[in-house]
């Protein structure tokens, strides 16, 4: 069981800045995120796009913002459970919470801060008849263990980076790789596009474009797919696996069943005070919350995180008085033993 002071669900900009603000108040944080890396949308959707409304950064790439936030909170030694989705929450007799992920990892904390953005990123599933039946019986939306495909026939569909990269990778592992895309053009890193072209020329990847998978065939498991080239009749292709890679889309997911008040696909909070939800001890900050006048901006998430930490401090240190300290005056004492402080002025006579 992982124990911490503030359990943060969502490792996007708001979640990462919470680590820093909590650290100033001597509270430790642990973050859970469904994505395999920190940064949330900033690293998953638009790492190379600029943001212009982060105070003091006239322009910063979303990926760089994530890096800076990681650097800023590093001395407060946050823990991470990445690639796992927070699934259930249970309130304990002592008032703390246990949050369990979809992989069974348990986390215990007196305060839970949901900084979940638009929700956890889930693969987008093509709308094909009986696709749910074939899940784990030949259909997969992400590749967890490439070895599963060794000496097997694989069909991948999609036209972006992940479809290209996995086609390249699996061409060395699988007995047959077929890549199906609705257009002739692929969108990805130039290297990957060139590599796929090379593998196609060598006969290591079959490419079918412009085409779409239109049917799944198989009795107890997937045995073949039906592919339709535009303007032609459907063709059957024998395969062991079908891997549609159409990107990820955020879903509020299991958090919606935690008994929290939800409005407009977001969690209602008290914005007059501390961004607490209807369940004491559970806060919601950043894009995931809603209140009158809410703006889904990173900078608003930072502010909400800061105020939330004050309330968390009172829960963790009941009755303890607190007075605001400025980092310029007090410096920062990291949990890793480091100390940052403003250089002291010298007192010296000038003769």
Angle, CA of 249, 252 and 258, to the nearest 5°: 160
Q: Measured between alpha carbons, how far is 200 from 216 in angstroms, rounded to an integer? A: 24
Q: Yes or no: say if 284 and 291 are a contact pair by the CB < 8 Å rule.
A: no
Positions in 287-306 near another protein (CB under 8 A): 290
Among 80, 133, 169, 246, binds another protein (CB under 8 A): 246
> x/- binding map, residues 69-108, to another protein, per CB under 8 A?
----------------------------------------
Among 14, 181, 213, 240, binds another protein (CB under 8 A): 181
Q: Yes or no: say if 85 and 275 are a contact pair by the CB < 8 Å rule.
A: no
Binding region for another protein (CB under 8 A) out of 107-115, 148-156, 217-225, 258-266 = 258-266
| Burial category of 89 from C-beta neighbours within 10 Å (exposed 0-12, middle 13-18, buried 19 and up) | buried
Query: Is residue 249 within the footprint of another protein (CB under 8 A)?
Result: yes
Query: Is residue 124 within the footprint of another protein (CB under 8 A)?
Result: yes
Q: Measured between alpha carbons, how far is 225 from 217 in angstroms, rounded to an integer? A: 6
Could you give the strand order of the β-sheet that contains 262-263, starting from the edge strand earlier in sequence?
262-263, 266-268, 289-290
Query: Is residue 45 within the footprint of another protein (CB under 8 A)?
Result: yes
Query: Is residue 197 within the footprint of another protein (CB under 8 A)?
Result: no
Minimum distance from residue 174 beta carbon to another protein (Å): 22
Q: Measured between alpha carbons, how far is 26 from 335 in angstroms, rounded to an integer? A: 8
Quick one: which of 178, 192, 34, 46 has its CA closest to 119?
34
The nearer residue to another protein, 187 or 303, going by C-beta atoms, is 187
Q: Cα dihedral angle (243, 247, 253, 254), rounded to 10 degrees?
A: 50
Minimum distance from residue 309 beta carbon to another protein (Å): 26
> x/- binding map, residues 259-288, to another protein, per CB under 8 A?
-----xxx----------------------
The nearer residue to another protein, 252 or 305, going by C-beta atoms, is 252
- Residue ranges of alpha helices (H) inside 189-346 are 190-201, 298-316, 327-330
Positions in 9-38 near another protein (CB under 8 A): none
| Binding site residues, another protein, CB under 8 A | 41, 45-46, 49, 118-119, 124, 126-127, 158-160, 181-183, 185, 187, 246-247, 249-250, 252, 264-266, 290
């Amino acid at each position: 069981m992982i124990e911490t002071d503030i359990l943060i669900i969502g490792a996007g900009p708001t979640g990462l800045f919470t680590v820093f603000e909590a650290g100033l108040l001597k509270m430790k944080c642990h973050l859970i995120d469904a994505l395999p890396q920190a940064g949330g949308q900033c690293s998953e959707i638009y790492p190379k796009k600029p943001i212009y409304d982060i105070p003091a950064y006239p322009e910063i790439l979303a990926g760089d913002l994530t890096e800076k936030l990681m650097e800023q909170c590093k001395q407060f030694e946050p823990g991470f459970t990445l690639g796992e989705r927070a699934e259930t929450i249970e309130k304990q007799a002592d008032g703390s919470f246990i949050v369990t992920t979809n992989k069974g990892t348990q986390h215990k904390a007196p305060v839970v801060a949901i900084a979940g953005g638009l929700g956890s990123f889930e693969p987008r599933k093509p709308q094909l008849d009986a696709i749910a039946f074939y899940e784990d019986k030949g259909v997969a939306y992400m590749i967890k263990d490439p070895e599963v495909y060794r000496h097997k026939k694989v069909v991948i569909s999609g036209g972006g980076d992940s479809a290209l990269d996995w086609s390249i990778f699996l061409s060395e592992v699988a007995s047959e790789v077929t890549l199906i895309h609705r257009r002739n053009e692929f969108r990805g890193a130039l290297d990957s596009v060139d590599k796929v072209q090379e593998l196609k020329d060598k006969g290591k990847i079959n490419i079918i474009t412009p085409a779409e998978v239109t049917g799944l065939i198989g009795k107890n498991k997937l045995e073949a797919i039906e592919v339709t080239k535009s303007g032609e009749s459907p063709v059957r292709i024998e395969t062991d696996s079908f891997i549609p890679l159409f990107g990820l889309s955020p879903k509020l997911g299991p958090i919606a069943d935690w008994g929290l008040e939800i409005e407009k696909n977001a969690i209602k909070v008290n914005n007059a005070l501390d961004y607490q939800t209807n369940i004491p001890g559970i806060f919601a900050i950043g894009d995931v919350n809603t209140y009158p006048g809410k703006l889904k901006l990173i900078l608003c998430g930072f502010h909400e995180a800061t105020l939330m930490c004050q309330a968390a401090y009172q829960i963790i240190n009941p009755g303890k008085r607190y007075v605001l300290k400025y980092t310029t005056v007090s410096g920062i004492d990291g949990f890793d033993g480091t100390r940052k402080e403003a250089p002291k002025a010298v007192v010296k006579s000038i003769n």
